[in-house]
Amino acid sequence: MNLKQLEHLLTVAEARSFSRAALRLHITQPALSRSIRLLEEELGARLLDRMGRRNELTPLGETVAARARQLLFGAEELRRNVDLVKKGSLGPIRIGLGSGPAAVLMTPFMVYMARHHPGVQLSITRGALDLQLGQLRARAVDALVIDRRAVPPAVELVVEMVAELRAGFICRSGHPLLAQGAETYSFDDVMLYPLASTTVTDEMGNLMMRHYGPRANPRTAVRLHCEEMDSLIATVRQTDVIFFGIVAVARQGIVSGELVELPVRPVFSAKGMFAMVTLAGRTESPSMQLFRTFVADHLHD
């Protein structure tokens, strides 16, 4: 038995076809059939049910396949570790970011790496949660920083809390609502203007309705929806739109005086919870410590 035979078994199980699997593996179909047959002979049991054009794992085959995935993953991680040591490099940084972390971290981290570690290859991806988790499982990225509440429970995922960021309402400093000079504003006052936000989790949506009533349901209250917080904040700067989301994404605008955190009553007490998600058993490149330190230093209110 060898790793190549186990790889052949997994590929046939995934493709459910010897011909399709042979194409993926770039070997002939007879060679693939011989490899599987030798593996079955060595184990003394049938691993695949051959049903016409379809091939499915037997119950024993499922057990062997599960163990094979672990062995192949371990072998790949060993090769990765050795390669990093041989090259004597920090290794690449490949990360995926959710909308909130991207607005706070993405540009500052790229600037930091370009200035202080120009020799390190950096790749940052954005996208829907399912896509990002798929990239992590396929080892196309090494870590994600995303909304903790949105991460589905899975044994292969390691979830580490990294930050809790306060949510609130942001408008431009010349907004007509501020001209009233009130100390606080009601949610009804806010709803006189378009509300902008990224996708709001069900948990956060329920908290909004608990604070401000059924009218605050994000599905109906949000008029401008976009996953790019930087674009939403740019829109707030130029219009009377009011942004609801992580206050930290407007940090620079608040410091410069262009933006204001709108005091809405009652004060929204919930926070965005963000986590770093990695793959269990995955070997991190030494350079990932640079990213972890940067996240700890910058992802805060």
Complete domains list, the chain, with CATH? 3-87 (1.10.10.10), 90-301 (3.40.190.290)
Averaged confidence pLDDT in the chain:
89
Q: What average pLDDT does range 103-117 have in this prediction?
A: 94
Predicted confidence at residue 79, as pLDDT, reads 73
Predicted confidence at residue 243, as pLDDT, reads 97
Range with lowest mean pLDDT among 90-94, 116-120, 156-160: 90-94
Classify each residue of 261-270 as buried b or exposed e, where b means 16 or more C-beta atoms within 10 Å of its C-beta: ebebeeebeb
Q: How confident is the model at residue 211 (pLDDT cuts 50, 70, 90)?
A: very high
How is residue 64 written in tokens?
């062997």
Q: How confident is the model at residue 85 (pLDDT cuts 50, 70, 90)?
A: low
Q: Identify the residue with better confidence: 7 or 104.
A: 104
CA distance 183 to 225: 28
Predicted confidence at residue 177, as pLDDT, reads 94
The answer to whether the bond into 266 is cis (omega within 30° of 0) is: yes
Q: Identify the residue with better confidence: 132 or 42.
A: 132
Question: pLDDT for 129-172, tens place per residue?
Answer: 999 999 999 889 999 999 998 898 998 999 999 999 999 999 99
Predicted confidence at residue 135, as pLDDT, reads 94
Q: What average pLDDT does range 103-112 have in this prediction?
A: 94
Q: How confident is the model at residue 210 (pLDDT cuts 50, 70, 90)?
A: very high
Predicted confidence at residue 224, as pLDDT, reads 95
Question: pLDDT for 217-227, tens place per residue?
Answer: 999 999 999 98
Percent of the chain with pLDDT over 90: 53
Q: Is 60 exceeded by the pLDDT of residue 86?
A: no
Whole-structure pTM over 0.85, yes or no? no
Q: Identify the residue with better confidence: 45 or 72.
A: 45
Classify each residue of 149-178 as buried b or exposed e, where b means 16 or more C-beta atoms within 10 Å of its C-beta: eebeeeeebeeeebbebbbbbbbbeebebe
Taken in order 23, 24, 28, 29, the sign of the CA dihedral is negative
Q: How confident is the model at residue 112 (pLDDT cuts 50, 70, 90)?
A: very high
Question: pLDDT for 280-291, tens place per residue?
Answer: 887 777 888 899
CA distance 216 to 220: 8
Q: How confident is the model at residue 87 (pLDDT cuts 50, 70, 90)?
A: low
